[in-house]
Amino acid sequence: MFNEKLWISALGLDIGSKRVGIAGCDGTGLIATGITTLVRSSFDRDVACLRELVEERRVQILVAGLPYSLNGEVGTQARKVQKYATRIATALELPLEYADERLTSVGAEELIQAQGMSPSRHKGLIDRKAAALILQQWLDERRQKQERHSQSS
């Protein structure tokens, strides 16, 4: 397990059936930004593309968005995401955590529209922004846990 006090390099993943939005965090672990969108093809090709990013960015953990249903249950789509994310994490030999991704795609679409762009023409950008929102949520929650832990110590 990693030391939570140290800076950590993480990749956020917004996993869909056609594309995977990918985000990374800055050197401080404070800000997540979209990096790229992977168009899914074969599993081996997906792993090869992700492995390049992992090595380049010295990634220590994967954070996948889990699409819970609105009532908080793990449905069919969430189970598909878990299966794919687990296979990816195993192939890359990295730990995997999940973040609740409910409404991140909606939030990403709103950001695109606020920039005057059409969401239907920028699906890859939406996936990257959604991945950034997922990773940002995880980073914020992790930082809050550290702060609570240090205050109680």
Query: Could you tell me the domains of the chain?
Result: 10-152 (3.30.420.140)
53 touches 21 (CB < 8 A): no
Q: pLDDT of 122-131, one tens digit each?
A: 788 888 989 9
pLDDT digits 0-9 by tens, 31-66: 999 999 999 999 999 999 999 999 999 999 999 999
pTM for the model stands at: 0.86
The phi-psi region of residue 93 (left if phi > 0; otherwise alpha if psi is between -120 and 50; otherwise beta) is: left
In tens, the pLDDT along 72-103 reads: 888 898 999 999 999 999 999 999 999 988 76
